[in-house]
Amino acid sequence: MTVSAKSWAAKLRPYRQGNDRRSWFELAVTSVAFLASWALVYNLYFVSLWLMLLAVLPAAGFLVRMFMLQHDCGHNSLFQSRLLNDWVGRAIGLFTLTPYDYWRHAHAMHHAGSGNLDRRGVGDINTLTVAEYTKLSFWGRVGYRIYRNPLVLFVVGPIYIFMIQQRLPFDSFKQGRSSWLSVLGTNFGLLVLAVIAAYFLGVLPFFVVHLPIVFLGAASGVWLFYVQHQFDETHWKRNADWDHETAALHGSSYYDLPQPLKWFSGNIGIHHLHHLSSRIPFYRLPEVLRDYPELADVGHLTIWQSLSCIKLVLWDEATEKLVSFRQARLARPLRLAAAE
Protein backbone atom coordinates (compact mmCIF):
# COMPACT_ATOMS: atom_id res chain seq x y z
CA MET A 1 0.00 0.00 0.00
CA THR A 2 1.45 3.36 -1.05
CA VAL A 3 0.58 6.31 1.14
CA SER A 4 1.58 9.90 0.40
CA ALA A 5 3.24 11.05 3.59
CA LYS A 6 3.12 14.75 2.76
CA SER A 7 -0.62 14.69 2.09
CA TRP A 8 -1.25 12.88 5.37
CA ALA A 9 0.82 15.41 7.31
CA ALA A 10 -1.55 18.15 6.12
CA LYS A 11 -4.64 16.10 7.03
CA LEU A 12 -3.41 15.55 10.58
CA ARG A 13 -3.04 19.25 11.47
CA PRO A 14 -6.56 19.61 12.97
CA TYR A 15 -5.75 16.88 15.52
CA ARG A 16 -2.93 18.95 17.01
CA GLN A 17 -5.43 20.93 19.06
CA GLY A 18 -5.47 19.56 22.60
CA ASN A 19 -7.69 20.13 25.62
CA ASP A 20 -6.08 21.31 28.86
CA ARG A 21 -8.89 19.87 31.00
CA ARG A 22 -8.39 16.46 29.43
CA SER A 23 -4.63 16.76 29.92
CA TRP A 24 -4.98 17.66 33.60
CA PHE A 25 -7.35 14.71 34.03
CA GLU A 26 -4.88 12.30 32.41
CA LEU A 27 -2.05 13.66 34.53
CA ALA A 28 -4.06 13.40 37.76
CA VAL A 29 -5.29 9.86 37.07
CA THR A 30 -1.81 8.62 36.13
CA SER A 31 -0.05 10.31 39.06
CA VAL A 32 -2.55 9.08 41.67
CA ALA A 33 -2.51 5.57 40.19
CA PHE A 34 1.28 5.47 40.24
CA LEU A 35 1.54 6.68 43.84
CA ALA A 36 -1.21 4.29 44.98
CA SER A 37 0.42 1.34 43.22
CA TRP A 38 3.80 2.30 44.71
CA ALA A 39 2.21 2.36 48.18
CA LEU A 40 0.70 -1.07 47.52
CA VAL A 41 4.08 -2.50 46.54
CA TYR A 42 5.62 -0.99 49.68
CA ASN A 43 3.00 -2.51 51.97
CA LEU A 44 3.27 -5.90 50.30
CA TYR A 45 7.02 -5.81 50.99
CA PHE A 46 6.19 -6.57 54.62
CA VAL A 47 3.73 -9.32 53.68
CA SER A 48 5.16 -11.38 50.83
CA LEU A 49 8.07 -10.81 48.47
CA TRP A 50 6.22 -12.70 45.70
CA LEU A 51 3.08 -10.59 46.06
CA MET A 52 5.26 -7.49 46.09
CA LEU A 53 6.95 -8.49 42.83
CA LEU A 54 3.55 -9.19 41.29
CA ALA A 55 2.36 -5.71 42.26
CA VAL A 56 5.48 -4.23 40.66
CA LEU A 57 3.97 -4.93 37.22
CA PRO A 58 1.11 -2.37 37.31
CA ALA A 59 3.31 0.11 39.20
CA ALA A 60 5.88 -0.08 36.40
CA GLY A 61 3.07 0.32 33.88
CA PHE A 62 1.93 3.54 35.54
CA LEU A 63 5.54 4.75 35.54
CA VAL A 64 5.74 4.12 31.79
CA ARG A 65 2.59 6.19 31.37
CA MET A 66 4.15 8.96 33.47
CA PHE A 67 7.06 8.98 31.06
CA MET A 68 4.69 9.23 28.10
CA LEU A 69 3.09 12.31 29.67
CA GLN A 70 6.57 13.78 30.09
CA HIS A 71 7.20 12.85 26.46
CA ASP A 72 4.16 14.85 25.34
CA CYS A 73 5.35 17.80 27.41
CA GLY A 74 8.63 17.65 25.48
CA HIS A 75 6.69 17.98 22.24
CA ASN A 76 4.63 20.86 23.67
CA SER A 77 1.51 18.80 23.06
CA LEU A 78 0.17 17.98 26.52
CA PHE A 79 -0.84 21.56 27.42
CA GLN A 80 -1.37 24.70 25.36
CA SER A 81 1.28 26.61 27.31
CA ARG A 82 4.95 25.90 26.57
CA LEU A 83 5.89 27.08 30.07
CA LEU A 84 3.38 24.69 31.68
CA ASN A 85 4.57 21.80 29.53
CA ASP A 86 8.17 22.42 30.55
CA TRP A 87 7.56 22.63 34.29
CA VAL A 88 5.22 19.64 34.37
CA GLY A 89 7.79 17.72 32.33
CA ARG A 90 10.54 18.64 34.79
CA ALA A 91 8.40 17.56 37.75
CA ILE A 92 7.59 14.20 36.13
CA GLY A 93 11.32 13.74 35.53
CA LEU A 94 11.75 13.23 39.28
CA PHE A 95 9.63 10.08 38.99
CA THR A 96 11.02 8.83 35.67
CA LEU A 97 14.67 9.64 36.58
CA THR A 98 14.86 11.64 33.37
CA PRO A 99 16.34 15.18 33.24
CA TYR A 100 13.65 16.81 31.12
CA ASP A 101 15.57 19.50 29.21
CA TYR A 102 18.50 17.20 28.48
CA TRP A 103 16.17 14.45 27.24
CA ARG A 104 14.05 16.88 25.22
CA HIS A 105 17.10 18.06 23.27
CA ALA A 106 18.21 14.51 22.41
CA HIS A 107 14.66 13.49 21.52
CA ALA A 108 14.23 16.49 19.24
CA MET A 109 17.39 15.41 17.42
CA HIS A 110 15.91 11.93 17.08
CA HIS A 111 12.74 13.30 15.48
CA ALA A 112 14.66 15.65 13.19
CA GLY A 113 16.84 12.88 11.77
CA SER A 114 14.78 9.73 12.18
CA GLY A 115 15.27 7.43 9.18
CA ASN A 116 18.26 9.46 7.95
CA LEU A 117 21.33 7.25 7.60
CA ASP A 118 23.61 10.28 7.71
CA ARG A 119 22.15 11.60 10.99
CA ARG A 120 22.27 8.54 13.23
CA GLY A 121 23.63 8.44 16.75
CA VAL A 122 21.58 10.87 18.85
CA GLY A 123 18.60 9.63 20.83
CA ASP A 124 18.30 6.34 18.97
CA ILE A 125 19.44 2.71 18.93
CA ASN A 126 22.87 2.53 17.32
CA THR A 127 22.42 0.71 13.99
CA LEU A 128 25.22 0.07 11.52
CA THR A 129 24.92 -0.66 7.83
CA VAL A 130 26.23 -3.96 6.52
CA ALA A 131 29.12 -2.13 4.85
CA GLU A 132 30.03 -0.30 8.06
CA TYR A 133 29.95 -3.52 10.06
CA THR A 134 32.10 -5.33 7.49
CA LYS A 135 34.78 -2.63 7.74
CA LEU A 136 35.06 -2.96 11.50
CA SER A 137 37.99 -4.70 13.14
CA PHE A 138 37.44 -8.06 14.80
CA TRP A 139 37.02 -6.45 18.21
CA GLY A 140 34.81 -3.76 16.71
CA ARG A 141 32.44 -6.47 15.45
CA VAL A 142 32.53 -8.20 18.82
CA GLY A 143 31.66 -4.92 20.53
CA TYR A 144 28.73 -4.27 18.18
CA ARG A 145 27.43 -7.83 18.64
CA ILE A 146 27.59 -7.40 22.41
CA TYR A 147 25.76 -4.06 22.15
CA ARG A 148 23.00 -5.58 20.00
CA ASN A 149 22.59 -8.62 22.24
CA PRO A 150 19.02 -8.62 23.70
CA LEU A 151 20.39 -9.08 27.22
CA VAL A 152 22.45 -5.90 26.83
CA LEU A 153 19.78 -3.89 25.02
CA PHE A 154 16.85 -4.70 27.27
CA VAL A 155 18.43 -5.55 30.64
CA VAL A 156 21.82 -3.85 30.96
CA GLY A 157 20.85 -0.97 28.66
CA PRO A 158 17.92 0.39 30.72
CA ILE A 159 20.01 0.24 33.90
CA TYR A 160 22.83 2.12 32.21
CA ILE A 161 20.59 4.76 30.62
CA PHE A 162 18.47 5.62 33.64
CA MET A 163 20.92 4.95 36.47
CA ILE A 164 24.21 6.13 34.95
CA GLN A 165 23.93 7.98 31.63
CA GLN A 166 21.13 10.30 32.73
CA ARG A 167 22.85 10.89 36.06
CA LEU A 168 26.23 11.72 34.48
CA PRO A 169 25.55 12.76 30.85
CA PHE A 170 28.80 14.58 30.13
CA ASP A 171 27.56 15.49 26.65
CA SER A 172 24.97 17.75 28.31
CA PHE A 173 27.70 20.37 28.74
CA LYS A 174 27.89 20.60 24.94
CA GLN A 175 24.15 21.18 24.62
CA GLY A 176 24.02 24.42 26.55
CA ARG A 177 23.10 25.75 29.95
CA SER A 178 19.55 24.41 30.13
CA SER A 179 20.64 20.80 29.56
CA TRP A 180 23.28 20.60 32.26
CA LEU A 181 21.12 22.59 34.68
CA SER A 182 18.40 20.04 33.97
CA VAL A 183 20.76 17.19 34.86
CA LEU A 184 22.00 18.87 38.04
CA GLY A 185 18.50 19.94 39.10
CA THR A 186 17.01 16.50 38.51
CA ASN A 187 19.83 14.77 40.36
CA PHE A 188 19.45 17.14 43.31
CA GLY A 189 15.68 16.64 43.38
CA LEU A 190 16.11 12.86 43.25
CA LEU A 191 18.59 12.98 46.11
CA VAL A 192 16.21 15.03 48.27
CA LEU A 193 13.26 12.74 47.53
CA ALA A 194 15.33 9.60 48.13
CA VAL A 195 16.61 10.88 51.48
CA ILE A 196 13.11 11.84 52.64
CA ALA A 197 11.60 8.55 51.49
CA ALA A 198 14.41 6.49 53.01
CA TYR A 199 14.08 8.36 56.31
CA PHE A 200 10.34 7.79 56.67
CA LEU A 201 10.04 4.42 54.94
CA GLY A 202 13.40 2.84 55.65
CA VAL A 203 16.46 2.68 53.40
CA LEU A 204 16.21 -1.01 52.48
CA PRO A 205 12.40 -1.11 51.93
CA PHE A 206 12.56 2.05 49.81
CA PHE A 207 15.22 0.74 47.45
CA VAL A 208 13.86 -2.82 47.33
CA VAL A 209 10.48 -1.39 46.30
CA HIS A 210 11.54 1.44 44.02
CA LEU A 211 14.38 -0.09 42.01
CA PRO A 212 12.35 -3.02 40.54
CA ILE A 213 9.61 -0.58 39.50
CA VAL A 214 12.13 1.70 37.83
CA PHE A 215 13.94 -1.17 36.13
CA LEU A 216 10.82 -2.83 34.74
CA GLY A 217 9.43 0.52 33.59
CA ALA A 218 12.74 1.43 31.95
CA ALA A 219 13.07 -1.95 30.23
CA SER A 220 9.51 -1.65 28.90
CA GLY A 221 10.25 1.83 27.60
CA VAL A 222 13.42 0.71 25.82
CA TRP A 223 11.54 -2.20 24.22
CA LEU A 224 8.80 0.13 22.99
CA PHE A 225 11.35 2.54 21.56
CA TYR A 226 13.19 -0.33 19.88
CA VAL A 227 10.25 -1.87 18.01
CA GLN A 228 8.98 1.54 16.94
CA HIS A 229 11.89 1.87 14.51
CA GLN A 230 13.66 -1.50 14.32
CA PHE A 231 11.10 -3.50 12.36
CA ASP A 232 11.04 -5.37 9.07
CA GLU A 233 9.39 -2.72 6.89
CA THR A 234 11.15 0.33 8.31
CA HIS A 235 12.46 3.12 6.09
CA TRP A 236 15.99 4.56 5.94
CA LYS A 237 17.57 6.82 3.33
CA ARG A 238 20.75 8.78 2.83
CA ASN A 239 20.44 12.51 3.33
CA ALA A 240 20.12 13.30 -0.40
CA ASP A 241 17.04 11.08 -0.75
CA TRP A 242 15.56 11.61 2.71
CA ASP A 243 12.46 13.63 3.52
CA HIS A 244 10.93 14.06 6.95
CA GLU A 245 7.34 13.08 6.18
CA THR A 246 8.15 9.81 4.38
CA ALA A 247 10.69 8.79 7.01
CA ALA A 248 8.21 9.61 9.79
CA LEU A 249 5.28 7.67 8.37
CA HIS A 250 7.12 4.69 6.92
CA GLY A 251 10.13 4.56 9.24
CA SER A 252 8.01 4.22 12.39
CA SER A 253 5.75 1.31 13.25
CA TYR A 254 2.15 1.08 14.37
CA TYR A 255 2.64 -1.25 17.32
CA ASP A 256 -0.87 -2.63 17.68
CA LEU A 257 -1.02 -3.46 21.39
CA PRO A 258 -4.01 -4.77 23.38
CA GLN A 259 -6.13 -1.94 24.75
CA PRO A 260 -4.81 -2.08 28.34
CA LEU A 261 -1.22 -1.83 27.08
CA LYS A 262 -2.19 1.02 24.76
CA TRP A 263 -3.44 2.88 27.82
CA PHE A 264 -0.34 2.19 29.92
CA SER A 265 1.94 3.21 27.04
CA GLY A 266 0.03 6.40 26.27
CA ASN A 267 -0.74 5.26 22.70
CA ILE A 268 2.95 5.61 21.83
CA GLY A 269 2.58 2.47 19.73
CA ILE A 270 0.79 4.65 17.15
CA HIS A 271 4.27 5.85 16.47
CA HIS A 272 4.06 6.48 12.74
CA LEU A 273 1.41 9.15 13.32
CA HIS A 274 3.30 10.58 16.28
CA HIS A 275 6.41 11.08 14.13
CA LEU A 276 4.36 12.50 11.29
CA SER A 277 2.75 15.08 13.59
CA SER A 278 4.38 15.13 17.02
CA ARG A 279 2.15 17.96 18.29
CA ILE A 280 -0.89 15.65 18.41
CA PRO A 281 -1.70 14.89 22.09
CA PHE A 282 -1.38 11.20 22.89
CA TYR A 283 -5.10 10.86 23.66
CA ARG A 284 -6.05 12.06 20.17
CA LEU A 285 -3.91 9.58 18.22
CA PRO A 286 -6.66 6.88 18.30
CA GLU A 287 -9.04 9.46 16.80
CA VAL A 288 -6.83 9.64 13.73
CA LEU A 289 -6.97 5.87 13.23
CA ARG A 290 -10.74 5.95 13.79
CA ASP A 291 -11.21 8.64 11.14
CA TYR A 292 -8.61 7.24 8.74
CA PRO A 293 -8.57 3.45 9.28
CA GLU A 294 -6.33 2.96 6.23
CA LEU A 295 -3.43 4.36 8.30
CA ALA A 296 -3.67 1.30 10.55
CA ASP A 297 -2.18 -0.75 7.70
CA VAL A 298 1.01 1.33 7.59
CA GLY A 299 3.89 -0.22 9.53
CA HIS A 300 1.46 -2.50 11.35
CA LEU A 301 3.16 -4.68 13.95
CA THR A 302 1.62 -7.12 16.44
CA ILE A 303 3.24 -8.29 19.68
CA TRP A 304 4.00 -11.67 18.12
CA GLN A 305 5.54 -10.07 15.04
CA SER A 306 7.59 -7.70 17.19
CA LEU A 307 9.52 -10.61 18.71
CA SER A 308 11.18 -11.27 15.37
CA CYS A 309 12.51 -7.71 15.34
CA ILE A 310 15.18 -8.66 17.89
CA LYS A 311 17.30 -10.36 15.24
CA LEU A 312 17.29 -7.32 12.91
CA VAL A 313 20.63 -5.66 13.62
CA LEU A 314 22.11 -4.25 10.39
CA TRP A 315 20.78 -2.06 7.58
CA ASP A 316 21.43 -3.50 4.12
CA GLU A 317 21.58 -0.55 1.73
CA ALA A 318 21.41 -2.88 -1.28
CA THR A 319 18.01 -4.30 -0.35
CA GLU A 320 16.93 -1.36 1.85
CA LYS A 321 15.96 -3.68 4.67
CA LEU A 322 17.10 -4.52 8.17
CA VAL A 323 18.81 -7.90 8.30
CA SER A 324 20.25 -10.29 10.87
CA PHE A 325 23.94 -11.08 11.24
CA ARG A 326 23.30 -14.42 9.55
CA GLN A 327 21.49 -12.85 6.60
CA ALA A 328 24.32 -10.37 6.15
CA ARG A 329 26.90 -13.16 6.24
CA LEU A 330 25.02 -15.30 3.69
CA ALA A 331 24.55 -12.35 1.32
CA ARG A 332 28.21 -11.31 1.39
CA PRO A 333 29.42 -13.75 -1.36
CA LEU A 334 26.64 -12.48 -3.63
CA ARG A 335 27.66 -8.86 -3.06
CA LEU A 336 31.32 -9.70 -3.75
CA ALA A 337 30.36 -11.52 -6.96
CA ALA A 338 28.22 -8.60 -8.10
CA ALA A 339 31.10 -6.19 -7.42
CA GLU A 340 33.36 -8.25 -9.71
131-142: pLDDT as tens digits: 999 999 999 999
Task: Confirm whether pTM is higher than 0.95.
Answer: no
Q: What is the reported pLDDT for 237?
A: 92
Q: Among positive and negative, which fits the CA dihedral 171, 174, 178, 184?
A: positive
Nearest to 194 by CA among 204, 184, 181: 204
| Per-residue pLDDT reduced to its tens digit, 89-139 | 999 999 999 999 999 988 998 999 889 999 887 778 899 999 999 999 999
> Which DSSP helix (H) or strand (E) runs through 63?
helix 49-74
Q: How far apart are CA 60 and CA 66, in angstroms?
A: 10
Looking at residue 166, what is its pLDDT? 85
Residue 1 has pLDDT above 60, yes or no: no
Average pLDDT over residues 330-337: 62
Per-residue pLDDT at 289 exceeds 90: yes
